[in-house]
Structure 1
């Protein structure tokens, strides 16, 4: 496998570890499936697989999706469903200073 594909695989597995509830990586059916697909589309000396490039594209697409989901959840938890906020908390959140602040 080329370095780009290995890097994509490692990043993808890292994102899956963030969302996985299982203790061991080897127990995850998702990780087993991904590894099986990467080995299935491995490039050999005798042939050049177009599926290899497709696998790289799919891996980068899934990686982008998982990273975006994790970032969305962090932003959502930070700014939503906190209930009523005071004027000071709201001003601090958006970066404004209140008139009586000495900042």
Structure 2
């Protein structure tokens, strides 16, 4: 992944995590942009590895994506007390038998 792709993906994840979807005043977004600008021309001089800044960005991106996915799954499958037989069957992908009369 290129540095630009990582940056855009990070900002996209931050936008999704923001309550109103706006990251204009976000400290995290400002910090990420500042770090990418800082290592834009000097990444080989300051970093131990050639792509260390991009690797760190990918690590943060993985963390943000995984956290968002976890929260979505938790919200969908978290126990809300007793469920009906139909809700449980729908949750696991089964169909209830019909009773012909």
Taking structure 1 as the reference length, the TM-score comes to 0.81
3-state SS of paired residue (1:48): helix
Report Cα offsets for 1:18-57 as digits up to 9, x if no partner: 112467433111111111111111136xx83463511101
| Further displaced range: 81-90 or 10-19 | 81-90
Match of 1:48 in 2: 44
Aligned length: 98
| Further displaced range: 14-23 or 33-42 | 14-23
Taking structure 2 as the reference length, the TM-score comes to 0.82
Match of 2:5 in 1: 7
Structure 1, unaligned runs of 5 or more = none
| Further displaced range: 93-102 or 82-91 | 93-102
Q: Alignment RMSD, CA only?
A: 2.4
Q: Is the 8 A contact 1:12 1:63 kept in 2?
A: yes
Q: Is the 8 A contact 2:89 2:96 kept in 1?
A: yes
Structure 2, unaligned runs of 5 or more = none
Q: Distance in 1 between matches of 2:71 and 2:95?
A: 28
